[in-house]
Every structure is written in structure tokens, then in C-alpha cells.
């Protein structure tokens, strides 16, 4: 693995640990490019730039303040990093119109980051929102 790929993996790990788990929004300005674009299954709009990423992370941490994001895999190839993770959290604030339930849930996710000049320039995220909604009791689990 090249030095660049190792640094890119560290950047993806830093996002999961320091931004998602610890809620350090100030780090977003350092690691997210001004032109960043985030394509995500969790929200209907594409996110642009550090400020919209901060708003999204803030919304998630208000709903799930004890989020712990554990990186399960990091795979780097050139300027791309794939991060597979598992987040555990407690629903303590309003989320997508769902009032707090106090339920502990687990969300699996896969995120592909394109790194440019030491910052995350583009992200594609797939999170198991169907599973999260079922765990919150907002929908019936498939097959039940």
C-alpha cells in the first residue's frame, strides 16, 4: 500500500471516529473539501461543502447523541477509500419526523470517499435506513 493510500485510510477513519462518534464538527473544515459532494441514501438531497456536512452530522447527533461508529473495514485504492462501519446509538431526539423512542439501534453503512489534496472531495454513502426505521418501530420489518 502506498503512503497516499495509508493517509487516505487515516482520513476516513478520522471522519468516523472524531466527527461521527465524538461530534467534533470543527474537524469538518479541515478534512472536508470546500467543493465536497456527498451522495447519500439517508437523505433525499445531495450535500455540498463542509457546512451542509456539519448540518447533517449535527442533526444526526441531536437525534442520536451517543452514536458510536466502529469502522469494520477500510480499503484504499489510489484516491478512493471504502469504509464499512457499524454505528450503535440511542434514539433521544426527533429523527425524520419520529419522536424520540429511547430505543438503542444499530445501523450498518458503506461509504466510498474520494480523496483529493488531503481532504474528502466526494462521498457516496449507503446506510441501512430500512433496518433503522424497523428498529425504531416506524415500519414493520420485512417478512412480518
C-alpha cell at 102: 429511547
pTM: 0.92
In angstroms, what CA-CA distances link 29 with 13, 26, 123? 16, 6, 15
The proportion of the chain whose per-residue pLDDT surpasses 70, expressed as a percent, equals: 99
Count of beta carbons in the 10 Å neighbourhood of residue 74? 19
CA–CA gap between residue 8 and residue 115 (Å, rounded)? 7
Q: What is the mean pLDDT of residues 73-81?
A: 97
C-alpha cell at 118: 488531503
Report which secondary-structure segment, H or E, holds 59: helix 49-63
Map residue 104 onto helix, strand or coil: strand
Domain residue spans of the chain: 3-136
Residues 94, 100: contact at Cβ < 8 Å?
yes
Q: What is the mean pLDDT of residues 53-71?
A: 96
State the Cα angle at 42 between 108 and 123, rounded to 5°.
Answer: 85
Which of 124, 126, 121, 125 lies closest to 50, judged by CA? 121
Per-residue pLDDT for 5 more than 70? yes
Architecture of domain 3-136: Roll (3.10)
The proportion of the chain whose per-residue pLDDT surpasses 90, expressed as a percent, equals: 90
Q: What is the pLDDT of residue 144?
A: 64
Provide the pairing of β-strand 68-77 with 104-116. Answer: unpaired
The residue that leads in pLDDT, 1 or 63, is: 63
Q: What is the pLDDT of residue 2?
A: 86
Report which secondary-structure segment, H or E, holds 28: helix 26-31
Amino acid at each position: 500500500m502506498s503512503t497516499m493510500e495509508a493517509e487516505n485510510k487515516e482520513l476516513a477513519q478520522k471522519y468516523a471516529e472524531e466527527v461521527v462518534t465524538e461530534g467534533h464538527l470543527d474537524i469538518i473544515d479541515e478534512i472536508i473539501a470546500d467543493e465536497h459532494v456527498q451522495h447519500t441514501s439517508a437523505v433525499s438531497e445531495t450535500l455540498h461543502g463542509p457546512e451542509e456536512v456539519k448540518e447533517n452530522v449535527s442533526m444526526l447527533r441531536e437525534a442520536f447523541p451517543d452514536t458510536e461508529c466502529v469502522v469494520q473495514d477500510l480499503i484504499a485504492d489510489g484516491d478512493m477509500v471504502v469504509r464499512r462501519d457499524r454505528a450503535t446509538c440511542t434514539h433521544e431526539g426527533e429523527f425524520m419526523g419520529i419522536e424520540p423512542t429511547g430505543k438503542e439501534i444499530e445501523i450498518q453503512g458503506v461509504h466510498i470517499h474520494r480523496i483529493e489534496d488531503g481532504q474528502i472531495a466526494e462521498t457516496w454513502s449507503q446506510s441501512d435506513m430500512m433496518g433503522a426505521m424497523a428498529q425504531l418501530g416506524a415500519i414493520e420489518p420485512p417478512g412480518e
